[in-house]
Structure 1
Amino acid sequence: MIKLLKNMDYSIPILIIVLVIYGLIVISSATSLEGSSLLNNPFLIRQVAAAFIGVFLVIFTLLFNYKILRDYSGIIYVFNILLLLSVLLIGETIKGGQRWIMLGPVSFQPSELSKVLIIITLAHLLADDKFDFKTFKGWIIPSIHLSIPFLLILRQNDLGTALVLISIFVGMIYVAGASGKFLLGSGCVVAGGSFAWLYAHIHLGIPIPLQGFRLNRLLVLIDPQIDPLGSGYNVIQSMIAIGSGGFWGRGLFRGTQNRLRFLPERHTDFIFSVLGEELGFVGAIILLALYFILIWKAIIVANESQDDFGRLLVAGVVSMLAFHIFENIGMTIGIMPVTGLPLPFISYGGSSLITNLLAVGLIINVNIRRKKLLF
């Protein structure tokens, strides 16, 4: 194990530690009450506990060769399906979504873990069989593999995580050989068509077959003032907070939108708004730089991987993190729809933090085994 650790790119765990600490600082501001001590902040305490659990899991994943996961891919896939089905049977509904399983005083969101599980099983599938993505037949098996957990997550009313699965799928099949031009073109057509449909709905009255609250979330993407006290409220308050932060920010624990509780979901979905208001443009750029370096380092790990399975594992994690970052920050500044996706390592949420740390553990696992050991 010591010889393996010599292969590690130590900048990756250092970046993660910095990001987690950064998140704890912003969470402490977003959840603090006047006159209360940080040691009495239950949100901060639970996030610290989740961080320690996540670090333990990272260390645990390094004890075995990631290639062993291929031998248990079928079991992992079945476990993933059963886990998602259990949510529909015994899960708790919170804020319109049946996504949580209650374990005493602790809530667990299986769809978070499902993202890592689908990365493992899809990596095995794509590495084991060479699919010809130039033909329709080549798409069938990978698409079916994804569609079952995708539909189960949609059934939980969790559109955000379902979109993450699509981003993971696109990133991994690209590395597996699918045409980048085709994927980019398809994405542009879907995005352009969606915006055109929304515009036509607003100005021409063309119907869109979506539930009311989901439709409103998309409509406020065109113009938040369509529903300023409803679906557009979150986005409007978020942009006010980020804009008021200016270059240097108002200062930690001094954001008015945050302290006066105008910002909704300020410690989870809209934590970037708190960061932007209190730490300003500088604080936001520092966070984006940390993310950029992490993803860049992960791409290097993928390129240096010994095998296709390791390369696909890292590609899946990179795709997952990149989409979370883009979507979360995008929704806080009004360029992406509000989906409820957390900001990796920054947003409050034990399931999310543990899952992201576990995913990074896979990257490090591939990294330390990129070279053959010589005895």
Structure 2
Amino acid sequence: MRIKLYYDPYTRRWVQNESEDSIKWGHNFLEVTFSGSIHEKLLPFNLAVNGKVVGPIVGVLAGEGEHYELIGNPGTFLRLHHSLSSSGALCVVFTPSSLHETGLNGYIYFDRISKWVKAETPLPNIVYNRIPFRKMEKAESFQDVLAFLHKQSIPYFNPFFFSKWNTFRWLWNNPELRHHLPLTKSLTSIQALIEMLHIYKEVYIKPSEGSKGKGIFKIDSKSSGEILLLSKGNQHSFANLNDLWEAIRSHTASSPYIIQQAIQSDRINGKRYDLRLLVHSVATEKYQVSGIGVRMAGEQEITTHIPNGGTIYPYEQIKHRIDEEKIDLIVNEIGKQLTKETNSFIGEFSIDLGKSADNHYYIYEVNSKPMVFDERSIKNKGLENLTKLLIMRASTP
């Protein structure tokens, strides 16, 4: 069933004219005032009603600029609004400073004028964390939001960005996942570099808190003794490890890096490829793959990320090579392990998964805040599963 609630942007009050009985909504069950007459300037919203409870209200936590403007992906916010609205939920985009003891001073999208409107609402039934940058999550204001949500028992996900090093350590603790992880070390000294190149002739060094393939280098130790350092569009040769270490120290000194075993990847037309998996929680300790994308490396072969020369390849054309049952097992173990290690609900994540030439699967990276997939089918299915998850979690006592 649906009920119309009306918002008055001048008095910042919500009213309804369909029931004289007490209608409540939000996490704090605030009452929606009954009004016998509705002014034409009030903004109508058609929401689900279950008995005498309206909603849910889904809060989407965004970043905040110097002048209190929203920072984040506006396309993601709009897609969430449309999907949640079609299910009778109210999508409210808010920032850390707009949360207060009894509600949100956020933004709701009004379809009639195709604009976001500032509005006062009760506390949300669930919060979806879409803070766009790691540095914003380190701010005291963000930590205050998490503390408040915890105190109020308002469910939220995902709790924070993952680092590559932490993710590796967390997954390594799971015996079922350990053999799906490339050997990885924290790159804090030349000793780690020496140890890895003693075992493997090819390794990657990656910023632990990087994304989109930025800052990644490949090191190739030739049998002749020459050492190559490869990055996007560049190649440098070194005679020894000391010279190589001096060249990369400027990167590793400014931000944490990892060093990782290079996997001999399965290839299509001579080019290596990775799988990109979008994953959502569908029940307690149960995760579902919303879609699988394929990213093929460019000629420089450093990464498969599109900004670094990678390309999209149709999954259907390689599906016969992929063991989807094995992938489902890996996905569910990852979800359960992340939940255990972070002591938080992990509702959504993406995985960069590699398949080796000998048909073994390797977990390269797990991201708590997936980027929007280019493939329309994955984008749509992911949004559908995310919407179901948000409403299901918002309705769980």
1 or 2 for the larger relative contact order (CA 8 Å, sep ≥6)? 1
TM-score normalised over the length of structure 2: 0.24
Higher helix share: 1
Higher strand share: 2
Which one has the largest radius of gyration? 2
TM-score normalised over the length of structure 1: 0.25
